């Protein structure tokens, strides 16, 4: 496994590094300048080696907490927005100052869920990032907490970093946190829990090992990191979870040392368009299908027809992303729907030839065509 990791790392050209609030800030909420300097030093060195580097950073809210003298992390969206608005400028100023010492140019990109959910905005963000990388600029990405509200928040930068890695087709995603990797049990309550150095496949057993929320200043826990890993490996990107406070952690990972937990990328990753469908955070509705439809989708790789549709949930229009679930509510697929929720409510359970008679038109035979469907 170590040798396989080293072989893979020899081909790595583009790296996304995500650093969490727990690494960037002290328990007081103020920026941990020593950790920031160490992070920038390592990233600048990677850039000088000829690798393309993207930083996904938390810390804006934490920096705002310190500046405003707050005693606890904000609990409401307006409080978080205010802290982020104050803290984002502080955070970027520090990054600019530190990277400039190594002769590096940085660019700030703030994203919300909507920037990834809408295909055109997704492509615009992708083009902007590729252009910055071509110009040898280091993009610094954060969620736009100052304007985000509950419906458009990613909720954690683990998910954001995985979506960014998928968007730019990165070779490696590194999640730096306050924990050394994925353990078989919570090491805070079970000190003898074993650290997993290698995960070849994300099974239900692996997901069950993930715990809840992290520190008081952070929003993500191991569960969000496992979800990020699912996105990354399905996109053909290797992922590592490691302790961000470990000296030289990024260099050690790129040197192939057995640091943290390595998630092996899939041998046959999803195509770019299907990655967007599968992992788009903008799911607008839910389609419940019968057992025959489940078999047709999963085993037969067929399109979804109206005859297999049992129920329609949510409000959505033609062309939006919906999730497909079985009778028990288990998600089996996602896809771009060919009819609105109102139209599907009318034609659910019907044969294809009956659609035009009922609706007065039939633009498509399928509810979701197999080319626009990703089986999960």
Interacting residues of 313 by C-beta distance below 8 A, sequence separation 6+: 285, 286, 287, 288
> Residue 321 pairs with which residues in a beta bridge?
336
Q: Is 349 annotated as a binding residue?
A: no
Q: Is 326 annotated as a binding residue?
A: no
Q: Is 360 helix (H, G, I), strand (E, B) or coil?
A: coil
Q: Is 52 helix (H, G, I), strand (E, B) or coil?
A: strand
Q: Is 18 annotated as a binding residue?
A: yes
Q: Is 115 annotated as a binding residue?
A: no
Q: Is 224 annotated as a binding residue?
A: yes
Q: Is 157 annotated as a binding residue?
A: yes
Q: Is 29 helix (H, G, I), strand (E, B) or coil?
A: coil
Q: Among residues 228, 348, 231, 223, which one has the least CA distance to residue 285? A: 348
Each residue of 158-170: b (16+ CB within 10 Å) or e?
bbbbbbbbbbbbb
Write down the H helix ranges in the chain. Answer: 2-9, 21-24, 33-48, 60-68, 77-100, 113-117, 119-134, 157-167, 204-208, 222-234, 249-254, 272-279, 291-298, 341-347, 355-359
Q: Is 80 annotated as a binding residue?
A: no
Q: Is 32 annotated as a binding residue?
A: no
Tokens 């000088």 sit on residue: 48
Q: Is 177 annotated as a binding residue?
A: yes
Pairwise CA distance, residues 129 & 56, whole Å = 12
Q: Is 189 annotated as a binding residue?
A: no
Pairwise CA distance, residues 59 & 219, whole Å = 11
Q: Is 22 annotated as a binding residue?
A: no
Annotated binding site for substrate: 58, 145, 157
Annotated binding site for ATP: 18, 177-178, 219-225
Annotated binding site: 18, 58, 145, 157, 177-178, 219-225
């Amino acid at each position: 496994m170590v040798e396989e990791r080293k072989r893979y790392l020899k081909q790595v050209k583009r790296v996304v590094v995500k650093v969490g609030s727990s690494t960037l800030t002290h328990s007081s909420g103020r920026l941990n300048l020593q950790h920031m300097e160490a992070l920038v030093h390592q990233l600048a060195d990677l850039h000088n080696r000829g690798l393309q580097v993207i930083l996904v950073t938390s810390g804006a809210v934490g920096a705002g907490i310190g500046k405003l003298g707050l005693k606890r992390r904000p609990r409401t969206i307006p409080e978080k927005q205010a802290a982020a608005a104050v803290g984002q400028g502080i955070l970027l100023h520090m990054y600019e100052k530190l990277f400039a010492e190594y002769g590096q140019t940085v660019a700030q990109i703030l994203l919300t869920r909507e920037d990834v959910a809408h295909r055109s905005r997704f492509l615009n963000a992708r083009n902007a990032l590729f252009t910055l990388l071509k110009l040898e600029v280091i993009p610094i990405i954060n969620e736009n907490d100052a304007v985000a509200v509950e419906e458009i928040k990613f909720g954690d930068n683990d998910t954001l970093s995985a979506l960014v890695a998928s968007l730019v087709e990165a070779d490696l995603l590194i999640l730096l946190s306050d924990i050394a990797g994925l353990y078989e049990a919570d090491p805070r309550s079970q000190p003898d829990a074993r650290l997993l150095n290698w995960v070849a496949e994300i099974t239900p057993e692996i997901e069950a090992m993930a715990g809840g929320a992290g520190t008081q200043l952070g929003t993500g826990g191991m569960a969000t990191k496992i979800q990020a890993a699912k996105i990354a490996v399905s996109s053909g990107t290797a992922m590592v979870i490691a302790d961000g406070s470990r000296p030289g952690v990024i260099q050690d990972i790129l040197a192939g040392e057995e640091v943290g937990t390595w998630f092996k990328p899939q041998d046959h990753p999803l195509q770019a368009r299907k990655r967007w469908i599968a992992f788009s955070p903008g799911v607008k509705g839910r389609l419940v299908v019968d057992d025959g439809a489940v078999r047709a989708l999963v085993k037969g790789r067929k399109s979804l027809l109206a005859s297999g549709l049992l129920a329609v949930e949510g409000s959505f229009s033609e062309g939006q992303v919906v999730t497909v679930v079985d009778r028990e509510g288990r998600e089996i697929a996602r896809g771009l729907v060919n009819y609105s929720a109102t139209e599907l409510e009318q034609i659910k359970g019907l044969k294809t030839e009956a659609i035009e008679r009922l609706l007065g038109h039939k633009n498509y035979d399928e509810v979701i065509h197999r080319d626009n469907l990703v089986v999960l």
